[in-house]
Amino acid sequence: MPRNLYSNKTFQQLIENDPTRPLVERQLAHCLTLFLHEGRQMIFYYLYLVKVEFLLQDPLNALILRFTSDKVTLEGYRLHGLFLEFAQGKPDSIVVQEERYVTAGVVGGPAVINATVEPTDR
């Protein structure tokens, strides 16, 4: 008995002229989880994010996140990529790494090595 070719999913996609994989849309994050040293974690909701500022400094870049209640300053290497993530979508987590494990010339992507959280003046 011949096999029904139309039941084959790949063949069906070729007939429809779209053999690519279906696009899976990434949902935007509602909050940012900041993983700090020694197991400390903080959650900031994007609803209260007012401004993201990138500062190109030497030797470390800085990324300042201004929420209505707190000012979060991230320092590290190649943070411009992380800044662009805030423009295109919203990262759901940022991990602060130990400085001794990060080498400036070897970093492949953004590497946050220091984070400070200060309450804003009201």
Is residue 56 domain-resident? yes
Q: How many domains does the chain have?
A: 1
Residue predicted with more confidence, 23 or 36:
36
Domain of residue 100, residue span: 23-119
Distance CA 96, CA 94 (A): 7
Is residue 32 domain-resident? yes
Nearest CA-CA partner of 112 in 31, 122, 120, 91 = 91
Is residue 28 domain-resident? yes
pTM: 0.74
In the chain, the percentage of residues whose pLDDT exceeds 90 is: 51
Q: Is the pLDDT of residue 5 over 60?
A: no
Is residue 74 domain-resident? yes
Is residue 35 domain-resident? yes
